């Protein structure tokens, strides 16, 4: 069994919509995980049949997206505890120093001076087609409903809405919070692994065109090969979105591993290597984080569900 622990941002600054993990909590996680488990790179372990036969409690550390704070705050802690991690980057975000669409959406609503938005699309619920805001609290409430709904849409419809939001809130300058290729190369030189999180962070399972899915997979893999010298073994599916097409196309385009989320341990003896489970950790109280690490929180949820 392998516990694959997923992180995104590690930062002392708080965010009311998508709170980064606090630096002190991240160190507590890494110290605890490295003491309790045999921490390795998933890419070193997943295809090593001899290592998988050993009766060890393995854990891996993974990051999605490619945020600059991974270098600034997470890397020194990883090095302090001699832990190697895998970083799955969105190559267009690295190229252009722009955040992922999920981050952009929230940032626009948090920082605009606009007091209303019109999204006249009949595929949206009426409550999400028009928003009028008297303050920041109103805007945060609106986007807190809009974001999860957008995740349910097919790719083309979601893009139409995102373009409309960007146009409406054009008064906001996007933050430069992503790693550079120099940062990515630093990770590689320190023994960490760099894999793909697609070219644009599109939700692959929601894309109608298989050609578009292939383009996301191939473009990101080739960009990593150009910068780092290898086509990555691993594709991490953005927002955990994948289906059978995505798994097949990932293998077809040259990947050997596909990462989901699923909040569960990964059993290499029976689980699909293109549907690898990960356990995402959040900025939560330590007792709850420990429950996630041990997977007892999910076990408890399953117990309550089946009672």
* pLDDT value for 148: 96
Q: Does residue 306 surpass a pLDDT of 60?
A: no
Query: What's the pLDDT score for residue 301?
Result: 66
Average pLDDT over residues 117-121: 97
**129-152 pLDDT tens trace:** 999 999 999 999 999 999 999 999
Give me 185's structure tokens.
Answer: 């190369």
Q: What is the mean pLDDT of the chain?
A: 95
pLDDT at residue 126 tops 60? yes
The pLDDT score that the predictor gives to residue 72 is: 98
pLDDT at residue 118 is higher than 60: yes
In the prediction, which pLDDT does 53 show? 79
By the 8 A CB rule, do 70 and 180 touch?
A: no
Choice among 54-63, 155-164, 188-197 with the minimum mean pLDDT: 54-63
Supply the pLDDT for residue 295: 87
* Residue 26 in this model has a pLDDT that exceeds 70: yes
In the chain, the largest separation of any two C-alpha atoms, in whole Å, equals 61
> For 201-233, how does the pLDDT look when each residue is reduced to its tens digit (9 = 90+)?
999 999 999 999 999 999 999 999 999 999 999
In this structure, are residues 58 and 1 in contact, taking their beta carbons and an 8 Å threshold? Answer: yes
Task: Judge whether 124 and 152 are in contact, CB under 8 Å.
Answer: no
% of the chain surpassing 90 pLDDT? 92
Tell me: the pLDDT tens digits for 48-66? 888 887 878 999 999 999 9
Question: 79: which DSSP letter?
Answer: H
> For residue 302, what pLDDT band results from cuts at 50, 70 and 90?
low
Task: Indicate if the alpha-carbon torsion angle 287, 288, 292, 295 is positive or negative.
Answer: positive
Q: Which CATH superfamily is domain 2-99+177-306 in?
A: Glycoside hydrolase/deacetylase (3.20.20.370)
The stretch 178-194 carries a mean pLDDT of 98
- How much is the pLDDT for 140? 97
- H runs (alpha helix) in the chain: 23-36, 42-45, 49-53, 69, 75-80, 91-96, 101-111, 136-150, 155-168, 181-189, 210-228, 244-252, 286-294, 296-306
Give the HSE-up count for residue 239: Cα atoms under 13 Å, Cβ half-sphere: 20
Pairing of β 130-132 and β 116-118: antiparallel
The DSSP secondary-structure symbol of 266 reads B
Name the residue among 40, 46, 81, 77 with its Cα closest to residue 62. Answer: 40
Tell me what pLDDT residue 51 has: 82
pLDDT at 189 over 70: yes
Q: Does pLDDT of 305 surpass 80? A: no
Tell me what pLDDT residue 303 has: 62
* Span 102-121, average pLDDT: 97
């Amino acid at each position: 069994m392998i516990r694959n622990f997923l992180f995104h941002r590690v930062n002392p600054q708080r965010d009311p919509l998508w709170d980064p993990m606090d630096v002190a909590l991240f160190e507590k996680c890494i110290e605890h995980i490295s003491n309790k488990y045999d921490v390795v790179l998933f890419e070193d372990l997943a295809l090593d049949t001899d290592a998988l036969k050993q009766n060890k409690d393995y854990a891996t550390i993974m990051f999605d997206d490619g945020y600059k704070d991974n270098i600034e705050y997470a890397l020194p802690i990883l090095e302090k505890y001699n832990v190697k991690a895998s970083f799955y980057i969105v190559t267009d975000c690295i190229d252009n120093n722009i955040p992922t669409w999920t981050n952009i959406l929230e940032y626009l609503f948090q920082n605009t001076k606009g007091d209303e938005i019109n999204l006249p699309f009949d595929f949206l619920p009426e409550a999400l087609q028009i928003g009028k805001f008297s303050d920041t609290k109103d805007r945060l409430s609106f986007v807190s409903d809009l974001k999860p709904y957008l995740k349910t849409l097919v790719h083309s419809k979601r893009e139409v809405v995102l373009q409309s939001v960007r146009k409406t809130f054009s008064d906001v300058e996007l933050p430069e919070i992503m790693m550079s290729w120099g940062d990515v190369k630093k990770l590689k030189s320190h023994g960490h692994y760099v894999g793909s999180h697609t070219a644009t962070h599109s939700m692959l399972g929601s894309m109608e065109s298989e050609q578009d899915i292939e383009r996301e997979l191939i473009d990101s893999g080739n960009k990593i090969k150009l910068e780092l010298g290898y086509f990555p073994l691993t594709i991490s599916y953005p927002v955990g979105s994948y289906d059978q097409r995505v798994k097949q196309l990932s293998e077809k385009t040259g990947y050997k591993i596909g990462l989901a989320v699923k909040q569960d341990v990964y059993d290499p003896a029976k689980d699909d290597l293109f549907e690898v489970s990960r356990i995402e950790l959040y900025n939560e109280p330590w007792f709850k984080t420990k429950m996630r690490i041990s997977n007892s929180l999910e076990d408890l949820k399953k117990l309550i569900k089946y009672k």
